[in-house]
Amino acid sequence: MYWGLWLLFRFLGRLCFRFHIDGEQFFPKTGGVIVAANHASFLDIPLLGCAIPRRVVFLGRANLFPNKLISWIIQRLGWIPLKTHRLDRRAFGLALEYLREGTPVVIFPEGTRTEDGQLQLGKPGIGYLVAESQCQVIPAYISGTFKVLPIRAKCPRLFPISVSFGKSIGFHKSDIEDKKQEYEQIGRSVMEHIAQVGGMSSPYK
Element (DSSP H or E) covering residue 130: helix 124-133
Q: Which of 14-28, 83-97, 110-124 has the lowest mean pLDDT?
A: 83-97
Question: What is this structure's pTM?
Answer: 0.93
Please check the confidence at residue 75 and state whether its pLDDT lies above 90: no
- Residue 2 CB contacts under 8 Å (≥ 6 apart), including other chains: 55, 77, 78
d(CA 3, CA 25): 20
The predicted structure's pLDDT at residue 74: 86
Q: How large is the greatest C-alpha to C-alpha distance in the chain, in angstroms?
A: 51
Which of these, 120, 101, 155, lies nearest to 36 by C-alpha position?
120
* pLDDT score of 64: 76
Q: Cα–Cα distance between 107 and 167 in angstroms, integer?
A: 17
The per-residue pLDDT for range 46-60, each reduced to its tens digit, is: 999 999 999 999 998
Q: Which amino acid is at 126?
A: I
Backbone φ and ψ for 181, nearest 5 degrees, come out as: -65, -40
Is the pLDDT reported for residue 199 higher than 70?
A: yes
At position 25, the amino acid (one-letter code) is Q
Please report which confidence band the pLDDT of residue 175 belongs to, taking 50, 70 and 90 as the band edges. low
CB 51 within 8 A of CB 57: no
Domains of the chain: 2-22+32-198 (3.40.1130.10)
Give the three-state DSSP class for 81: strand
